[in-house]
Amino acid sequence: MKKLIALVLAAVMMLTLAVLPAMAEGADTKGTGVPLTIYTNSGSSGRAEWLTDRAKQDGYEITVVEEGAGAVQQRLINEGAATPCDVVFGLNAIIWNDLIARGILQAYDAPSWASEVSEGLNDPNGYYYAIVKQAILLAYDANQVSEEDAPKDWPDLWENEKFWGKYESQIKLTGGTTRNVLAGILTRYMDPEGELGVSEEGWAAIEAFFAHGTPVEDGVDLYAQMVNPDSPVLMGQMWSSGALQYDEQYGTKTGVAVPEVGIPYAVEGVGITSVTKNLDEAKRFVEWFGSAQIQGEWCEKFNTMPANEKAAEKADPRQVELCSIPAQNIDWAVVAANIDNWCEKIMLEYMQ
């Protein structure tokens, strides 16, 4: 008799499961109307308005607060446990890891689309998942420099005299692109016994990097320098979507170095604050926002390079090419813990 009852119960459970709707995933995950507050540095040029309207179509009630990446970081730090923020997106790996170290973010189960993201871009501990990537490039004007004569990696700039004076060096170290470049160089020379965790060889490389560059002209972008016949500058740092924009603007043809060690990527991600009172809705939003469907729409509207490889099918082919360069293996947690001190030392000792 007990065996018969068990068989009946099993059959009932199987029938129940069969008629239940499948758990919604990706863009099929609709909002429930619970209000969410979202902080981002990627809300300009109509992004915040587009996202608010598009999310509303699928049941999400969101308020987007847009500021620069550093300002978002500082706001979250200052607000602490009193922050109204539920979800953060944008930023970069350096800031993400600082927020993680401060306990401002919480780890959460990977959304269904996480497996569609390019390898190495998601946080390995689940604090944020990648949505957009920018390749941080050593770029040159291929109209003026042939591939054979171009640098193959950053150290070529200061180790080979033919590049001296022909590359742009920075006069400010607060920008995200600049800090990614410095991270890509300094992490090659990590030494626990060295000053600030960097070997003497590493600091000598940084000294030479700034000594042999042409300082950026404040307010004049790299590509304006490259096309200026009175400027010696033909190469320098650039982010991938910027390269496309400037090529169109100036008639340049961007060539890029492809280092054997790979290149840094500025990874825009999406995370959830540790103090949110709307965790379920926040998770639903992340599932929706990072999906191939929504990131594909975002890409088409704002010419981004999605981290989601399915969404990337809608990206500009040239941007796909630039962002296919392998990522450099960088411990971003180490960078986040040291970058301010590294930049302070560089400014005091090596910048002219």
* pLDDT tens-place string over residues 42-83: 888 799 999 999 999 999 999 999 988 888 999 999 999 999
Q: Per-residue pLDDT for 332 more than 60?
A: yes
What whole-number distance in Å separates Cα of residue 260 and Cα of residue 325?
10
Q: Which two tokens stand for residue 41?
A: 């540095």
Q: Per-residue pLDDT for 15 more than 60?
A: no
Helix pair 93-101, 176-186: axis angle to 10 deg: 80
CA 147 from centroid of its chain's CA atoms: 27
DSSP 73-121: HHHHHHHGGG----EEEE--HHHHHHHHHTT-EE--PPPGGGGGBPTT-
Average pLDDT over residues 212-227: 93
Same CATH topology for 2-133+266-322 and 135-264+330-349: the answer is: yes
Instruction: Output phi, psi for 175, to 5 deg.
Output: -70, 150
What whole-number distance in Å separates Cα of residue 114 and Cα of residue 73?
24
Mean pLDDT check: name the lowest of 6-10, 18-22, 304-308. 18-22
Q: Per-residue pLDDT for 19 more than 70?
A: no
User: CB of 26 within 8 A of CB of 58?
Assistant: no
Which candidate, 334, 324, 69, 302, places its Cα nearest to that of 194? 334
What whole-number distance in Å separates Cα of residue 270 and Cα of residue 88?
6
* Cβ neighbour number for residue 215 with a 10 Å cutoff: 13
Which candidate, 18, 22, 17, 55, places its Cα nearest to that of 36? 55
Domain spans, the chain = 2-133+266-322, 135-264+330-349
Domain 2-133+266-322 = CATH 3.40.190.10: yes
Mean pLDDT, the chain, rounded, equals 91
135-264+330-349 topology per CATH: D-Maltodextrin-Binding Protein; domain 2 (3.40.190)
Q: What is the 3-state secondary structure (H, E, C) of 21-74?
A: CCCCCHHHCCCCCCEEEEEECCCCCCHHHHHHHHHHHCCCEEEEEECCHHHHHH
Q: Which two tokens stand for residue 293?
A: 């469907």
pLDDT, tens only, 278-318? 999 999 999 999 999 999 999 988 888 999 999 999 998 99
pLDDT of residue 352: 64
Q: Per-residue pLDDT for 23 more than 90?
A: no
pLDDT of residue 9: 46
Question: Hey, is 234 helix, strand or coil?
Answer: coil
Confidence band (pLDDT; 50, 70, 90) for 21?
A: very low
Q: Which two tokens stand for residue 103?
A: 């306990």
Q: Which two tokens stand for residue 112?
A: 């269904």
What is the DSSP-derived secondary structure letter of residue 171?
S
pLDDT of residue 12: 44
pLDDT, tens only, 164-219? 999 999 998 888 889 999 999 999 999 999 999 999 999 999 999 999 999 998 88
